[in-house]
Structure 1
């Protein structure tokens, strides 16, 4: 089993390559999962963490701009 950081890097690299070759609108989670070789559960965990970080940044930005 991959550690979280390695899985994250694989997912990001796969997504970047797919976005460039197919366009961002044409790439779904299954394509990223297949290209990266990680499980769907792991990919969803990575995405969940990324969305949580974005929410935190948004809240901080609103507090500062307030």
Structure 2
């Protein structure tokens, strides 16, 4: 999963240090929705989590 997050950060033009690893709740969501196999599916799940994280981020 760290490689998926690193790839997504790179695509967004971010250094990986600005995208923290998944927390316990986020990781649990991944394990409930991905039983292994397709890395594309894993990527879509992680993308959805990061989008939600961005949506909920406080704005100044």
TM-score clears 0.5: no
Q: Which has the larger radius of gyration?
A: 1
Higher helix share: 1
- Give the structure-1-normalised TM-score: 0.37
